[in-house]
Amino acid sequence: METEAFLAQTEEDTAALGRRVGRRLRAGDLVLLYGELGAGKTVFARGLAWGAGFRGRVASPTFALAHVYRGGRLTLHHLDLYRLKTGELAELGLDELLADPRGAVAVEWPEAGRPWPDRRIEARLSHVRGGRRIVLRDRRA
């Protein structure tokens, strides 16, 4: 179980770290993004999508609940559970998304969801003096 901490001084640093993780994603991977409002979860997810090979615009799925980014070596399903109402997680079809043979899943606000599989990557983003602290924990092994 690998844990690393990073200081991202800019939004670009946050996206670059997400891209680095996105390049290592495999089908079936789950990335849980923790952090308060404005901590950079969506920016990190943008990097994940770009690292997986997507080349378009990545936006917060807060109001849509989910976005899908295709066109790269891997499809990224990007979910935001912040505004989730009881029962809506089942409607998102998370089990099917995790079973996508060409896809990985990134979840913002996972604390609003269910018990998550042990096999996952966690990214914990927080504001610190000089930028954002990002702690990555890879629990896929």
Which is nearest to 100 in space by CA: 25, 16, 6, 29?
29
The segments of the chain whose pLDDT lies below 50 read: none
8: tokens are 């991202």
Predicted model pTM: 0.91
Question: What does the pLDDT read at residue 81?
Answer: 86
- Quickly tell me which residue has 């995790």 as its tokens: 98
- Summarised one tens digit per residue, pLDDT across range 59-80 is 877 667 788 999 889 999 999 8
Q: Which domains does the chain show, CATH number per domain?
A: 2-138 (3.40.50.300)
φ, ψ of residue 68 to 5 degrees: the values are -120, 130
Question: What does the pLDDT read at residue 141?
Answer: 78
Which is nearest to 125 in space by CA: 32, 23, 16?
32
Question: What does the pLDDT read at residue 93?
Answer: 76
